[in-house]
Structure 1
Amino acid sequence: MTSSDPFGIYVHWPFCKAKCPYCDFNSHVRHAPVDALSFARALATELAWFAAQTPGRTVTSIFFGGGTPSLMPPAAVGHVLDALAALWPVSPAVETTLEANPTSIEADNFRGYRTAGINRVSVGVQALDDGDLKALGRQHSAAEALDAFRLAATIFPRVSFDMIYARPGQTPEAWQAELSRALAEQQGHMSLYQLTIEPGTAYFDLHAGGKLMMPGDGLAADLFDLTQELTARAGLVAYEVSNHAAPGHESRHNLLYWRYGDYAGVGPGAHSRISAGENRHALIAEKHPETWRGLVEKQGHGIISDSVVTREDQASEYLLMGLRIAEGIDIGHYAALAGRAIAPAKLKHLEDLGFIATEGPRLKATPEGRKLLNAVIAELAV
């Protein structure tokens, strides 16, 4: 990586009001008030450690994720952003995103976040059906979510409308009505994720016990097709499997991940990918918030794992991330990482099936291939 290559910062805020039954992220509920500024100071300290590892880089995107970053007081967000700006050059066109839950209490912080330097919010609406919101463990109503989104759209230059579909009992007719309602509100970007059952979640246990019936593969595929049809009709391009945007509204930070760029992740459980010479390092921070903070106070960072990613593993990660996006991967770059080219016979077989397409030096998954992306990647990586 060179100093001119995109470089992102991910900031993890691990606290939530409640644990959603489908969530497998590193999130924690505290029944006593969180000392937000002490965690913000620890984040700033860990940022300083990463700055020493990445001299000469310019920050092009910043992303506050969680957990629930919209539980951060604006002063804490400002403290982190001020620290970051003192440690690295920051691009004048930097994208600074914060994930926000649309409760009225959290929406009250929106103007403070904008003043602190946030210029994009990703609003976790998740559903526009009050019964489904309750089943998903969300703390807001559909009306409250729409009010919060509309407020965000008046404050921030860019906003994303985020939803979950393929929910238990959801029909294509219900999803068409719900998504159409959301498309009438969106402001250029939508993240639309199919609900997946992850180990370690309450939904996983319910599903394993036969108490949660999920849509079958056929229905899930129909809902995916419907999503692509309605978003395309509204002028939102499916630039990634689950993300749709009008031109110029794509998430630049998430594109950094999918293009396999470098990023530093600070906060409990955060991951990083940092290039150093010929090597690429994978770093992981301690997941438990208070333990992480203690490590930062003791040694300047909360990193508990730092491993060199082999060229073969880099190739696998590049393939896994890059085929999620419409632009695909550079075939030559993959071959350089893997130490071998993809067998022409494999490419022809998958092209004949209609799952991939090659355009000059680039390899892309087709719309049909995106439905079976894991299988396509597994075939190519062997």
Structure 2
Amino acid sequence: MKQDSRIIPILQADQISRQQAPSAPVGGVAAPPPLTLYIHVPWCIKKCPYCDFNSHEVPDQLPEAEYLEALTADLEAALPNVWGRQIQAVFFGGGTPSLLSEATLDAILMMVRSRLPLCILPEITLEANPGTAEANRFKGYAASGVSRISLGVQALDDAQLLALGRIHDASQARHAIDLACQTFERVNLDLMYGLPEQTLSQWRQALQEIRGYATGHLSLYQLTIEPQTVFAKYPPKQPDDDTLADMEDVITDEIVSHGWDRYEISAYAKRGQQCQHNMNYWRFGDYLGIGPGAHSKLSFQDRIIRQARTRNPQQWMQNALRRDDSHITHDATIERQDMPFEFMLNALRLKEGVPSDLFESYTGMPLREISAPLNRAMDEGLLSEDPTRIVATELGWRHLTTLQSIFLPENL
């Protein structure tokens, strides 16, 4: 096949980098990418009707001691896979991690620090529910080392919050935002649009209010109906497609035009406020996930693997404490033909894309192996012809699923 001249500079850079860097065995990497730690806290006060995450209604008494013991066993079992590697960021996700007491959160971080080397001043994120009881714990979390709070606000209208099945009201949300901004320098607010019966003016008003808070990061999502949720069984009436498109345009008017950069499909940040754990994830970096249902992606010289833990919290605790790997329900090597799609599925979500040489560094595959889909994506105007970066064009970002699918195994 004739080589497309547009990717020759990329391939020449690829050849130079391979001459200068140590070669990696097929299916692995010469040096592992950055590593972050994800800790899953599975309990919620109530399961929201739109939620398809691994969350479970909290029992009468939160089993914090048992959870900590099992989490310790889970991490210790994983240590051989990450031995000597430094953790760049920590992310507590859920569920509702802010259900944990300050003492338990502190004990978890002490346990992690005693077993894994953390970088200097790592970003430690904790997802929180805006309910007043959890919000009042913020100072204790900060004292333990949490440096970033991600608040699941979702809406600032009582009727909309009720329709979403949230346990907090708008006044609690506003109180939690104020308290978070007083306590932490890094605060993310989750907000959804396309809510049942939501109007365009209501969405604009919500963004204008959010803009007034001293937060540096926003996660703005369209409500989607996921399988196996209550909303899938009883679909709410959402705005029509034209209104949804207008709602996305309003984000540009009210957020992007006022100092937030849309650096990822659903993420908006002021300068220096990007989420470090998520940035590593989107760049195809490594992450170790512990806790029920947590996922990991780990790189070695001879392979790159994905793992998943037992989803049920009680079963996970029982299995983790056996210390026999029975808490691992999935442990598989990423096949070479699947690597390009896995890489692009993440990297192309970033507005700036990634440096071209990151593909080989993080997959162990030379860039020339994907010259055919690269050519096709550029021919269709979906991928930039910049030889130094793999980055979607504006058209590619609008049709991201189409662009990503070009890198499926059958298209290599």
TM range (shorter): over 0.9
Q: Which amino acid aligns with 1:348?
A: M
- In 1, the alpha carbon distance for the partners of 2:52 and 2:294 equals 14
Shift of 1:338: 8.4
Of 94-103 and 142-151, the range deviating more from structure 2 = 142-151
- In 1, the alpha carbon distance for the partners of 2:393 and 2:162 equals 36
Residue by residue over 1:305-342, the C-alpha shift from the partner in whole angstroms, topping out at 9 and shown as x without a partner, is 11001122221111011111112144452762783324
Question: Which residue does 1:311 correspond to in 2?
Answer: 336
Matches within 5 A, 1:234-245: 234-245=258-269
- In 2, the alpha carbon distance for the partners of 1:30 and 1:274 equals 31
The answer to whether the 8 A contact 1:221-1:371 is kept is no
The answer on 1:327 being equivalent to 2:327 is no
Within the candidate set 127, 137, 147, 2:155 is matched to: 127
Shift of 1:59: 0.5
The answer to whether the 8 A contact 1:3-1:56 is kept is no
Helix, strand or coil at the partner of 2:385:
strand
Of 333-342 and 42-51, the range deviating more from structure 2 = 333-342
Of 119-128 and 161-170, the range deviating more from structure 2 = 161-170
- In 1, the alpha carbon distance for the partners of 2:383 and 2:241 equals 21
- In 2, the alpha carbon distance for the partners of 1:187 and 1:30 equals 30
The answer on 1:280 being equivalent to 2:304 is yes
Q: Which amino acid aligns with 1:293?
A: M
| 1:218–1:377 distance in 2 versus 1, CA, 3 Å | farther
Shift of 1:172: 1.9
Q: Which amino acid aligns with 2:346?
A: M
RMSD in angstroms over aligned alpha carbons? 1.9
Q: Which has the higher contact order (CA 8 A, sep 6+)?
A: 2
Matches within 5 A, 1:81-120: 81-120=109-148
- In 2, the alpha carbon distance for the partners of 1:285 and 1:52 equals 17
Shift of 1:368: 4.1
Residue by residue over 1:187-216, the C-alpha shift from the partner in whole angstroms, topping out at 9 and shown as x without a partner, is 111111111110000011112xxxx22233
| 1:344–1:266 distance in 2 versus 1, CA, 3 Å | closer
Shift of 1:57: 0.4
- In 2, the alpha carbon distance for the partners of 1:3 and 1:311 equals 17
Residue by residue over 1:199-251, the C-alpha shift from the partner in whole angstroms, topping out at 9 and shown as x without a partner, is 000011112xxxx2223333222211221332111110000000000110000
- In 1, the alpha carbon distance for the partners of 2:266 and 2:195 equals 15
Shift of 1:79: 1.4
Residue by residue over 1:136-156, the C-alpha shift from the partner in whole angstroms, topping out at 9 and shown as x without a partner, is 111111111111111111111
Q: Which amino acid aligns with 2:389?
A: R
| 1:11–1:2 distance in 2 versus 1, CA, 3 Å | farther
| 1:89–1:345 distance in 2 versus 1, CA, 3 Å | closer
TM-score by length of 1: 0.93
Unaligned 5+ runs, structure 2: 1-28
Question: Which residue does 2:406 correspond to in 1?
Answer: 379
- In 1, the alpha carbon distance for the partners of 2:181 and 2:64 equals 26
Helix, strand or coil at the partner of 2:366:
helix
Shift of 1:343: 4.0
The answer to whether the 8 A contact 1:41-1:79 is kept is no
Shift of 1:380: 4.5
Q: Which amino acid aligns with 2:386?
A: E
| 1:344–1:126 distance in 2 versus 1, CA, 3 Å | closer
Unaligned 5+ runs, structure 1: none
Helix, strand or coil at the partner of 2:51:
coil
Matches within 5 A, 1:119-268: 119-207=147-235, 212-268=236-292
Helix, strand or coil at the partner of 1:359:
coil
- In 1, the alpha carbon distance for the partners of 2:347 and 2:63 equals 39
Question: Which residue does 1:361 correspond to in 2?
Answer: 388
The answer to whether the 8 A contact 2:56-2:95 is kept is yes
- How many residue pairs get aligned? The number is 375
| 1:366–1:171 distance in 2 versus 1, CA, 3 Å | farther
Helix, strand or coil at the partner of 1:356:
coil
The answer to whether the 8 A contact 1:315-1:337 is kept is no
- In 2, the alpha carbon distance for the partners of 1:338 and 1:317 equals 17
- In 2, the alpha carbon distance for the partners of 1:262 and 1:24 equals 24
Query: Share of identical aligned residues, percent?
Result: 35
- In 1, the alpha carbon distance for the partners of 2:248 and 2:380 equals 21
Within the candidate set 297, 303, 309, 2:321 is matched to: 297
Q: Which amino acid aligns with 2:206?
A: E
The answer to whether the 8 A contact 1:102-1:145 is kept is yes
The answer to whether the 8 A contact 1:8-1:262 is kept is yes
